[in-house]
């Protein structure tokens, strides 16, 4: 079994700042914006505003984060939780809020050992809930944030935050993960080690992070799934559609060339690319599936998303139209997507050739 590629982990991220080119900073006061450019910028701003993003001091932020700032709140340096600026010194001394009280770190650990009061950590695009110790929780948060880009860059503007942070419930214990799936999954998707819980209003992604060897892959899958769900489902893509799992499979199995090759060889051994035209209708994940069928299904969905990176005039043009529709919250997004899907599923030979390139 492959092991997770663990490099140096970044510190928990707070709100990212988009840096302007130096020449803009130096000469911005002298640059005149043409009316056509201004109209285009206004139109683009309306699109982002409709998704709940606002520009503030040169940064695109969620309105919810701006609301915190306007209340004179800042993010805790370790957890990213919003706190009153007046309490910043307490946070910097290592204290944490538990049940409305500031307590030392060791007391805070004791107060977050139950799922009734889990640790909640924030990064740019992730809201993590877990009862792991804080050091492990920060590592999980950073892993999750790092993997947002795989799906975000195919669906969204990489320079802007997601409309909402992906809410991730990271379970360290298999029994607790299964219990959560039993209570909150009406689809059978919790058979896998990560699933989107659509029966709850907050729609978290649940992942079995404590799984030996597989935990990091389940986390990646959950992040990709969560990113795609929040951008596609509001625009008409069905909640259990294959492409949502596809973004999960892409993020978990295509995170680097070694992973793509390793899982690709297993996929070929299970039959490789097949039944493309009927795949969307036959797609399913449930408790009756064998492990081999489950793995094949997730990989096939993932390779169809991974193929979007391959230069291909037909699929690239069609996918660009989907991306534009997402940004603009186009009422015809589903129709535009279905047109893309139809063209993608005709690329049988090209997708097989793409897979062959990955496993050599």
Residue of higher predicted confidence among 358 and 302: 302
Q: What is the pLDDT of residue 156?
A: 96
In this structure, what are the phi and psi dihedrals at residue 166, rounded to the nearest 5 degrees?
Answer: -75, 120
Instruction: Quote the pLDDT of residue 35.
Output: 67
Asked whether residue 23 carries a pLDDT value surpassing 90, the answer given is: no
8 A C-beta contact, residue 222 and residue 207: yes
Taking alpha carbons only, the member of 358, 325, 321 closest to residue 340 is: 321
Whether 119 has a pLDDT exceeding 60, the answer reads yes
Least-confidence region, from 14-28, 292-306, 346-360: 14-28
Task: Taking residues 250-259, report their average pLDDT.
Answer: 90
How many degrees, rounded to 5, is the angle at CA 149 between CA 177 and CA 155? 100
Does residue 6 have a pLDDT over 80?
no
> How many whole angstroms separate alpha carbon 296 and alpha carbon 271?
8
* CA-CA-CA-CA torsion sign (287, 292, 295, 296): negative
pLDDT of amino acid 269: 87
The tens digit of pLDDT for each residue in 89-114 reads: 999 999 999 989 999 999 999 999 99
The number of C-alpha atoms within 13 Å of 223 and in the hemisphere containing its C-beta is: 31
Q: Across the chain, what does the average pLDDT equal?
A: 89
What confidence tier does 32 reach under pLDDT thresholds 50, 70, 90?
low
What pLDDT, in 10s, does the model give residues 284-323?
Answer: 999 899 999 999 999 999 999 999 988 899 999 999 999 9
- Give which of 140, 161, 245 is closest to 196, Cα–Cα: 245
Q: Are 12 and 138 in contact (CB under 8 A)?
A: yes
Q: Which residue has the higher pLDDT, 254 or 128?
A: 128
Q: What is the pLDDT of residues 191-238, one digit of tens each?
A: 999 999 988 999 999 999 999 999 999 999 999 999 999 999 999 999
What band does 34 get if pLDDT is binned at 50, 70 and 90? low
CATH dotted code for 112-359 = 1.10.390
Non-local CB neighbours of 134 within 8 Å, separated by 6+ positions: 78, 79, 105, 108, 109, 112, 119
The confidence band for 37, taking pLDDT boundaries of 50, 70 and 90, is low
Report CA-CA distances (Å) from 231 to 12, 79, 305: 24, 26, 15
The C-alpha torsion from 147 through 109 and 116 to 170, rounded to 10°, is 20
Q: Where are the domains of the chain?
A: 52-103, 112-359
**Is residue 4 scored above 70 in pLDDT?**
no
Give 136-192 pLDDT, tens digit per residue. 999 999 999 999 999 999 999 999 999 999 999 999 999 999 999 999 988 889 999
* Residue 106: count of CB within 10 angstroms of its CB: 9
Structural element, H or E, at residue 194: strand 194-196
Per-residue pLDDT, averaged over 279-285, amounts to: 94
pLDDT confidence of residue 73: 97
- In this prediction, residue 33 has a pLDDT band, given cuts at 50, 70 and 90, of low
94's enclosing H/E stretch is none
Percent above pLDDT 90 for the chain? 77
First-residue to last-residue Cα distance in the chain: 18
């Amino acid at each position: 079994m492959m092991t997770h590629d663990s490099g140096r982990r970044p510190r928990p991220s707070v709100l990212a700042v988009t840096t302007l080119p130096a020449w803009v900073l130096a000469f911005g006061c002298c640059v005149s914006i043409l009316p056509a450019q201004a109209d285009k910028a206004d139109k683009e701003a309306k699109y982002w505003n409709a998704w709940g993003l606002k520009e503030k001091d040169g940064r695109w932020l969620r309105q919810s984060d701006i609301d915190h700032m306007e209340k004179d709140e800042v993010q805790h340096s370790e957890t990213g939780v919003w706190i009153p600026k007046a309490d910043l010194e307490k946070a910097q001394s290592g204290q944490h809020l538990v049940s409305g009280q500031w307590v030392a770190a060791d007391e805070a650990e004791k107060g977050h050992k139950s799922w009734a009061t889990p640790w909640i950590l924030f990064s740019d695009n992730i809201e993590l809930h877990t009862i792991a110790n804080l050091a492990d929780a920060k590592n999980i948060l950073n892993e999750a944030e790092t993997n947002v880009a795989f799906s975000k860059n195919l669906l969204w503007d990489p320079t802007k935050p997601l409309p909402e942070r992906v809410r991730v419930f990271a379970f360290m214990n298999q029994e607790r993960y299964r219990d959560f799936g039993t209570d909150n999954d009406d689809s059978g998707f919790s058979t896998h080690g990560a699933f989107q819980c659509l029966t709850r209003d907050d729609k978290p992604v649940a992942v079995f992070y404590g799984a030996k060897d597989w935990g990091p892959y389940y986390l990646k899958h959950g992040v990709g799934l969560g990113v795609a769900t929040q951008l596609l489902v509001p625009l008409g893509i069905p909640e259990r559609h294959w492409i949502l799992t596809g973004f999960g499979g892409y993020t978990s199995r295509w995170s680097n060339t070694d992973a793509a090759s390793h899982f690709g060889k297993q996929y070929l051994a299970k039959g490789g690319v097949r039944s493309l035209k009927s795949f969307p209708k036959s797609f399913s994940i449930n408790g009756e599936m064998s492990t081999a069928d489950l793995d094949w299904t997730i990989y096939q969905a993932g390779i169809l998303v991974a193929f979007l990176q391959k230069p291909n005039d037909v699929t690239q043009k069609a996918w660009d139209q989907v991306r534009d529709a997402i940004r603009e919250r186009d009422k015809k997004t589903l129709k535009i997507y279905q047109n893309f899907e139809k063209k993608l599923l005709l690329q049988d030979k090209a997708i097989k050739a793409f897979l062959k390139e990955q496993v050599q």
